[in-house]
Every structure is written in C-alpha cells, then in structure tokens.
Amino acid sequence: MRGGAHLYLAATSGIFLASLTGRVGEAGPLLVGAAVGGLLPDIDLPPHTASPLERWIMRAARKSRVPALGWAVTAVIRLLRIVLAMLGTRHRGWLHSPLIPIGLAMSGLAAGGVTGWMLLGTAVGMFSHLVGDSLTPSGVSWFGRRVRGPFRTDGGADVVGFAVGSLLLLLAIAFEGR
C-alpha cells in the first residue's frame, strides 16, 4: 500500500477503536498516534527517498504554519533512517514485525493517560500498516510465516485498504453511543 492508503486505514482503525471504548471525544492522542503508526514502519525505506512519514509531517507543519518544526522533525527522522541503513535494516524487515505494535499496545495499556492513548494509537496504526502490506505480493512476516496477498502496491492494495477503512468508519458510527 502507498502512504495515503496506510494513513487512511490507520486513522479509521483509530476512530473505530475510540468508538469501541466510548471515548471518541478524548481520542485526539489516539488518532495522532494512529496516523504516525500507520506510516512509521516505512522509515526503513532507502534513505535517498522521503518516507511517507516525513512527507506527512512536512505537510502538517506547513498547514500549521510551523515549517521549521517540520524541518527539525524530518531531519531527525532522516538521521534515524541513515543509521538504520548503516545497520543493514532492509525494507519490510524487523520494523514490519507484529511484535512492535504488540509491545506498544501493552506499554500503552500500562501507561494510561495521554501517553497510553498515544502508544495505543501508534500500535493500532502500525498493526493496520502490517495488515495493508500483507495484501501485497511482497507480504509481511507474521511470527515467522510470510503472508502475501494478490494486490499490487500501486493499485488494488490501496483500493482494498480504503474499502476496509471505510467499513471501519461505518462500524465506528454504528457503535458510537452504545
């Protein structure tokens, strides 16, 4: 899946989780975490290209009229990506492991409060990213078994991601207030 589809699926997954907890009004940190988590696994892309997370942060910083903050954050991400490349991290390697969102979710539940919501949202976003990438022929390794789908990254996977995200959004509306 591409960045926009990952972001949409992560955000709608976060909204769905917030509706299940009945705390949609307090879900800001959860949704920010979900958006970051939805793009975070792709920081293992080669450093000579901008990752979807860097592009999203720069767009958000420009719209918020704080481009200097966007440049600073993306510079830190770029340095992290260079270090990851020097360590031999490959795309869809350990950053695409389901153990990371599981650990983040457990940390979020233990932490509670705003930090807990942010960590839980990041876990939900990363999990949705892994599910989306599992739809493609390259697939993702789930506990030692590579799961591959039939959908190309530049087309079908995005459509399926938007469809699943829209279904989650409809379910969130249906569950809200229960």
Nearest to 148 by CA among 105, 75, 96: 96
Q: The domain containing residue 161 runs over which residues?
A: 3-42+95-175
> Is the same domain home to 72 and 121?
no
**Cα(3)–Cα(43) distance, integer angstroms:** 11
CA angle 136, 169, 145 (to 5 degrees): 30
Strands 140-142 vs 145-147: parallel, antiparallel or unpaired: antiparallel
Residues 6 or more apart from 59 whose CB is under 8 A from it?
none
> Is the same domain home to 81 and 153?
no
Spell out the per-residue pLDDT of the chain, length 178, in tens: 888 899 999 999 998 888 888 877 778 899 999 999 999 999 988 878 888 889 889 998 999 999 899 999 999 999 998 898 888 888 888 889 999 999 999 999 999 899 999 999 999 999 999 999 999 998 899 988 889 888 877 778 888 888 888 888 888 888 775 6
> Is the same domain home to 162 and 148?
yes
Tens digits of per-residue pLDDT, 101-125? 999 999 999 998 999 999 999 999 9
Nearest to 136 by CA among 5, 7, 46: 5
Q: What does the pLDDT read at residue 177?
A: 59
Q: What does the pLDDT read at residue 118?
A: 94
**Cα(88)–Cα(83) distance, integer angstroms:** 9
| Domain finish residue from 75, 90, 105 | 90
> Is the same domain home to 102 and 80?
no
Helix (H, G, I), strand (E, B) or coil at 140: strand
**Cα(171)–Cα(98) distance, integer angstroms:** 24
> Is the same domain home to 105 and 164?
yes
> Is the same domain home to 29 and 117?
yes
Work out how many domains the chain is built from and give that number. Answer: 2
Output the CA–CA distances (angstroms, integers) from residue 138 to 17, 85, 172, in the order listed.
Answer: 28, 20, 30
Nearest to 142 by CA among 87, 89, 102, 86: 102
